[in-house]
Amino acid sequence: MTQKTFAGGLHPPDSKQFSAHKPIERCPLPAELIIPAAQHIGAPAEICVAVGDLVKKGQIIANAKGFVSVPVHASTSGEVIAVEPRLHPMGRPLPAVVIKPDGLDQWDESLKGNDPEQLDVATLKDLIRNAGIVGLGGATFPAHVKLSPPQDKTIDTLILNGVECEPFLTADHRLMLEESARLIDGIKILCKVLGISTAIIGIEANKPDAIDFLSKECAPHKIAVQSLKVQYPQGAEKQLIDACTGRQVPSGGLPMDCGVVVQNVGTAAAISDAIRLGRPLVERIATITGPGIKEPKNLLIAIGTPLQHLVNQCGGLNGEPAKIIMGGPMMGQTQLSLEVPAIRGTSGVLIFREQDLPQMKASPCIRCGRCISVCPIHLQPTTIATYARLELVDEAESYHALDCIECGCCTYICPATLPLVQSIRHIKGGIMAKRRKL
Amino acid sequence: MLAAILSIGGIGLVAAAALGVAAKKFAVEVDPREMAVLEVLPGANCGACGLPGCAGYAKGVVEGTIAANLCTPGGAETVEQIAHILGIEAITSEPKVAVVLCQGDNQKATAKYRYLGLEDCNAAQKIADGPKACPGGCLGLGSCERACPFGAIEMTAEGLAVISRAKCTGCEKCVAACPRQVIRMAPLDAMTHVLCNSHDKGAAVRKYCQIGCIGCNICKKTAPEAYVIENFLARVEYQHHLDAAVAVEKCPTKCIRDFSTGYPQGSSFPPPTVPLKRDAAV
């Protein structure tokens, strides 16, 4: 099969060998689950339970507030022992519901499955929203919003993101190998909601087993599987659309502007559960890996499980941790402590020791232009970073700083180890602040 | 030879005449008072008045669109001179100075995480609310130092901003540059300040800072007029600042500083004297 790709990008060592061959294992429940109300892009949900309440698995514990918002559900049955701010992966204490599991793990009886063939599109969207489905690739954008394009936009293609271009992560890889029935069912539901028949699963060529397996499984369902070149950030939405369809998302635009909706493979599988079984999003697959972990694994975790518990399930720490990252090493978020809970967007937990981290000492730009050649958006990172250093907001804006997807290729490739993406992110904040003022 | 002299000379004369006419016809009238005001302004173009530079401010003052006492760097002297030029009454404002309400440098305050990002306080503050365990303390990455047009701010070796009371003109640029509001404006003659910006309870402060205010009320008991405690943080009531100095010795964490005894540890500035020059103008 020919491998498609986009222009730009690079190929960091993918380091997936730690966990790529490990089947998904269910992680036992921890002593307490910390479930934050803010687990998606958009308005945080509003907590609707109190201390002492007994909750069932799948019961709503926080209601959605506004259109770009989804409810949050209890990940197991048990007692609410606290409703208070707890340390969130964002780095500060945010409102959360703390549940002490009763060990029975009983589903809420009122949750009932449906046959998607019997339901209309509006009901399907409502069910997806009420199940709290968000993009499971890591960005956690509510799925129902992507599935509700405005009247004037015509969608003709659904792309399933099975690229997993971030080094170390193997959760989507394992899902495609082990949960293909749920995945294909989810794709069919998504196609029905969007009223289209073209669906493409994009997979990076470093997962040949997944490409072969899914090609066979998908053939009777008329779902295409596209092999993509191993190139970071192949899994970034705009790059994936470019690679699969050759279409470009306009500057400042969304995938729907070129007729495409992109969903992660994990999201599609979760949508199948939400409709067929009526089960909301209360668990996900995450890769616990890195040189600081004794036995890297792919775990099926209950949302709200503290990272320390996940680490314990993987044989514990292999030496003193120096950096804890939630998500992938390129775009993931550094964590303050192992007390924080895994949330809906937690695609992986990476632990590095002091000796695994590069010693970065920034020196002046030598104007080699490598950041420009790797930038998948075709920006000039070094120029924007200079404007950021000089706080020249208007100039940075005129160089399209806001189109930066913060993939980190520029910082990765820079021979002077300049914090380029960090500077661009900083000035993006300045541009947004200026726009709010106007 | 003669032809050359005549033709070049002729061109010169015609051009001179044209320039002369143009200078008269297209002359831009400048109010002489505007130039006079510009002369007496400090010329730092700091923007403390709210206008882009001294020329803009001079124009505004002469046109009467902006008050004549907004040049904080110039102080009372400049206001009087402007008033003299414009023939108006001088209304001076109390001279102010910026103070960093923190002494928790890298030795005395604990870090929440190791920050390796941009050398910019605003960028650091966006990552988990800043690398310092204290929610209000100085981050020490020098955003205020770079914002100061007068070179009045220095960063100590242990990462604490210190503002020279002699060099600070009160333009407030540093106040705007600080993401943690740890820099506040205070009257120039007030020498005693509570150098802490954490509203956490005493037990929490003790965990992350050796020199933070724990809200113990001892200063308030010693000099009831001079101190107020709000949300576990003491501050000096500047109308009564002269009474505040007696509590400096009593403070158990030594977070109250009398600047006449010197700047916080690590600063290279010479100890400040009680100001007389700008004080007299009030």
| Ordered DSSP codes for B164-178 | -TTT-----HHHHH-
Strand partners, A10: A232
Binned at pLDDT 50, 70 and 90, residue B53 comes out as confident
For the stretch A123-133, pLDDT in tens is 999 999 999 99
Q: Is A85 on the interface with B (CB under 8 A)?
A: no
Q: Is B35 on the interface with A (CB under 8 A)?
A: no
Q: Is B117 on the interface with A (CB under 8 A)?
A: yes
Burial class (CB in 10 A: 0-12, 13-18, 19+), A143: buried
* Beta carbons of A360 and B112 less than 8 Å apart: no
Element (H, E) at B234: strand B233-236
d(CA A423, CA B189): 40
Sign of CA dihedral A19, A21, A24, A27: negative
Q: For B126, which residue in chain A has the nearest alpha carbon?
A: A426
pLDDT at B270 over 90: no
CB B231: neighbour CB atoms within 10 A?
Answer: 9
Q: Could you tell me where the DSSP H helices lie in chain B?
A: 2-25, 32-40, 54-63, 75-86, 121-125, 143-147, 173-177, 202-208, 218-222, 277-280
Strand partners, A85: A95
Interface test with B, best of A320, A335, A391 (most B CBs within 10 A): A391
- H helix count then E strand count, chain B: 10, 8
Chain B positions touching A92 (Cβ under 8 A) are: 128-129
Binned at pLDDT 50, 70 and 90, residue B47 comes out as confident
Average the pLDDT over B138-160 and give the result.
93
Predicted local confidence at residue B280, as pLDDT? 38
Sign of CA dihedral B23, B25, B31, B32: positive
To the nearest whole angstrom, how far is the Cα of A412 from the nearest Cα of chain B? 14
Name residues 350-369 of chain A within 8 A of B (Cβ).
360
Predicted local confidence at residue B109, as pLDDT? 94
Chain A positions touching B116 (Cβ under 8 A) are: 360
Query: What is the three-class DSSP state of A191?
Result: helix
Cα angle vertex B127, ends B121, B129, to 5°?
A: 75
- Say what percent of chain B tops pLDDT 70: 96
Residue ranges for chain A with pLDDT beneath 70: 1
Interface test with A, best of B110, B115, B120 (most A CBs within 10 A): B120
Q: What is the mean pLDDT of chain B?
A: 89
Q: Is A334 on the interface with B (CB under 8 A)?
A: yes
To the nearest whole angstrom, how far is the Cα of A423 from the nearest Cα of chain B? 7
* Beta carbons of B118 and A423 less than 8 Å apart: yes
**Is ipTM > 0.90 here?**
no
For the stretch B173-209, pLDDT in tens is 899 999 999 999 999 889 999 999 999 999 999 999 9
pLDDT at B282 over 50: no
Phi/psi for A365 (5° steps) reads -60, 130
Interface test with B, best of A334, A338, A363, A414 (most B CBs within 10 A): A334
d(CA A187, CA A86): 36
Q: Which two tokens stand for residue B58?
A: 């001079």
CB B64: neighbour CB atoms within 10 A?
Answer: 10
Q: Could you tell me where the DSSP H helices lie in A99-207?
A: 121-130, 143-146, 171-178, 180-194
Of B117, B128, B129, the CB nearest to A422: B117
Predicted local confidence at residue B275, as pLDDT? 61
Single pTM value for the model: 0.83
Lowest-confidence range among A72-81, B3-12, B49-58?
A: B49-58
To the nearest whole angstrom, how far is the Cα of B147 from the nearest Cα of chain A? 11
Q: Is B112 on the interface with A (CB under 8 A)?
A: yes
Higher pLDDT, residue B171 or A23: A23
Chain B positions touching A422 (Cβ under 8 A) are: 117-118, 123
CB pairs under 8 A between A and B: 25
d(CA A85, CA A12): 37
* Beta carbons of A426 and B127 less than 8 Å apart: no
Interface test with A, best of B112, B118, B141 (most A CBs within 10 A): B118
Element (H, E) at B256: strand B256-258
Predicted local confidence at residue A204, as pLDDT? 95
pLDDT at B90 over 80: no
Q: For B111, which residue in chain A has the nearest alpha carbon?
A: A336
Q: For B123, which residue in chain A has the nearest alpha carbon?
A: A426
Task: Look at strands A283-289 and A348-353 and give their pairing.
Answer: parallel
d(CA B275, CA B76): 13
* Beta carbons of B118 and A429 less than 8 Å apart: no
d(CA B212, CA B104): 7
First to last CA, chain B: 73
Binned at pLDDT 50, 70 and 90, residue B278 comes out as very low
pLDDT at B31 over 90: no
DSSP assigned state of A57: B
d(CA B40, CA B54): 10
Q: Which two tokens stand for residue B279?
A: 């004080």
Predicted local confidence at residue A437, as pLDDT? 82
Q: Is A315 on the interface with B (CB under 8 A)?
A: no
To the nearest whole angstrom, how far is the Cα of B209 from the nearest Cα of chain A? 19
Highest mean pLDDT out of A308-317, B165-174, B236-245: A308-317
Average the pLDDT over B238-262 and give the result.
90
Q: Which two tokens stand for residue A167?
A: 């080094």
Burial class (CB in 10 A: 0-12, 13-18, 19+), A105: middle
